[in-house]
Amino acid sequence: MAAKVLVGTASWTDPGFIADWYPKQVPASRRLQWYACHFNMVELNSSFYAIPRQQSVQKWCRETPPGFVFDVKLHKLLSRHSTDIKLLPPELRRKAKAIGDKVELTPAIEKAVAKRFLQEIEPFRENEKLGALLLQLSPSFRPRTHQLGELDHLFELLEDYPVAVELRNVDWVSEAHLSDTTKYFRKHKLTFVSVDAPEASHFMIMPGTDVVTNPQLAYLRLHGRNARGYIRGRTVAERFDYEYSNQELHQIANRVSNLAEESSEIHVVYNNNASNYAPKAAEHFKEIVAEEHNELNLGPQMESEEARELDFNEGNNKSRRVHAGVR
């Protein structure tokens, strides 16, 4: 059976998408619906900064068709990033210990945040639209000062959920640590997130290590290959300002095919979020897979080209109609 490949971007609300990809006639309230005409998955990025509200999650479920999947980025506190206390809901702030304006990560606040997070995203699971929880660790979480075992408590709290982990410090995949890293991931049934990133010697830049640690799910995040921007950029658009070439997208398709030899499902997420580079690359990648890789199944496709003609002018049957396939 062909491995299923879900393709999308990291967020559907990046400023570059709004400026250069979405048609001007599409109101903000309909962008997710328009996005879902093109892709069958997306990463929820805003959940890294604030625990989403259940009402919003329910709304996103209603706005997307059956088969659409959300991978949900875990809150930055759970990812071992320095976290302002104001990024927690008010009732959790009262439970948290603070060092200045930063939250002190304790087992108690970790449990409280994880519990609240899972409660709020439950509609994704109820509607069969939850893909994986994405734990994007801080670059400061490194073997010299930390052990992967420090995450045991968190993974116990998330044991009923598929979890993909993106390491952000190159030392975890060095010759000295790669074996132990993969053993830990396999023991805890975690998905190792492979990346496509610049080729440069910097502790934050991970190499293209393709290791499948969970036969149910492999994960590939594509950050672009702009080394200067990745290291020095201050904004998302600066860090991931890169337009993949046709040749590079063919290389990526081959990587995904190799991952599919050991995993039944692969999530491919374009994070080169400057201008419209990510959705353009994702759409071209899908075309390459469809034409050249019959060993891969692109999963549920949203609606046919004819059925994608949606009325995006709010509240008027005589409003202008915009074809979702035209930019």
Give per-residue pLDDT as tens, 231-242. Answer: 888 888 788 889
Q: How far apart are the first and last CA of the chain?
A: 35
28 and 290 in contact (C-beta within 8 Å)?
no
Joined together, the tokens standing for residue 40 give: 């069958």
Q: Which two tokens stand for residue 48?
A: 């890294």
Element (H, E) at 269: strand 265-270
Mean pLDDT of 40-51: 96
Lowest mean pLDDT among 133-147, 174-188, 206-220, 310-324: 310-324
User: Across all residues in the chain, what is the average pLDDT?
Assistant: 90
Quote the CA–CA distance of 72 and 78 in Å, as a whole number.
13
pLDDT at residue number 229 = 84
Average pLDDT of the segment spanning 71-85: 95
Query: Per-residue pLDDT for 195 more than 50?
Result: yes
pLDDT at 302: 64
Establish how many alpha carbons lie within 13 A of residue 185's alpha carbon, considering only the half-sphere containing its beta carbon.
26
86-100, 150-164, 250-264, range with the lowest pLDDT: 86-100
Domain at 3-323: CATH architecture: Alpha-Beta Barrel (3.20)
Q: What is the pLDDT of residue 269?
A: 98
User: Are β-strands 41-44 and 69-73 bridged in parallel, bridged antiparallel, or unpaired?
Assistant: parallel
Q: Dump pLDDT digits (tens) for 122-146.
A: 999 999 999 999 999 999 999 999 9
Task: Please check whether residue 139 is in contact with residue 168, taking contact to mean a CB–CB distance below 8 angstroms.
Answer: yes
* pLDDT at residue 285 tops 60: yes
User: CB of 204 within 8 A of CB of 229?
Assistant: no
Is residue 319 over pLDDT 50?
no
